[in-house]
Chain A
Amino acid sequence: MTTYLMILMALVAVLGAGIALLSKNAFNKLIGVAVIASGTIPFIAIAGYLDVAVAVALLLPLTTIMILKITVGDDV
């Protein structure tokens, strides 16, 4: 059961990497990074490091907000 879930989450992470690396728009790239995080955090939780999972889930949106500050000016 856990193995199937891990394979599924690995697919989610790889798809997110494809979105983040291949799309041209900066907003689409940020959404791809969020998809990578959603595929990665279950791996941390399965390994038992719930505190690290909490740290990742709290610090990643901060990074996204900081990048959004410079994204607003130059496209769309």
Chain B
Amino acid sequence: MILTFYLGLVLLVLGVVGVAFPADKTPLTRLINLEVPAFGLLLIMLAYNEMLALLTFIATTTITTFVLVRVIQRRNAV
């Protein structure tokens, strides 16, 4: 339980720093780095036994990624 919470915190903080200051500032890099804090938040929700929040968050993250991929595709095409 404690380990889950602290692993979630580590992933969340590392991922947020990675999204805010990536190595090369392309939208694709930020989009892939965005997966890391998502897993951190998932672990923190797991530490508090919020199952419904977990399921909703996973589904929402996937749909958000679909939308962002469409946006980046549209931006590259123009």
Chain A positions near chain B (C-beta within 8 angstroms): 3, 6-7, 10, 13-14, 17, 20-22, 24, 26, 29-30, 33, 36-37, 40, 43-44, 47, 49, 51-52, 55-56, 59, 62-63, 66-67, 69-71, 73-74
Contacts and interface: CB of A to CB of B under 8 A. Distances in A.
Interface string B46-78: 100101001100110110011001001100100
A60 B27 CA distance: 19
Q: Describe A's contact surface by its main secondary structure.
A: helix
A70 B73 contact: yes
Contact of B39 (A13, A59, A66, A69): A13
Given A49-B51, A69-B73, A17 B65 contact: no
Contacts of A33: 32, 35-36
Contacts of A20: 18, 32-33, 35-36
Contact of B46 (A24, A44, A69): A44
Interface in B3-59: 3-4, 7, 10-11, 14-15, 18, 23-24, 26, 28-29, 31-33, 35-36, 39, 42-43, 46, 49, 51, 54-55, 58-59
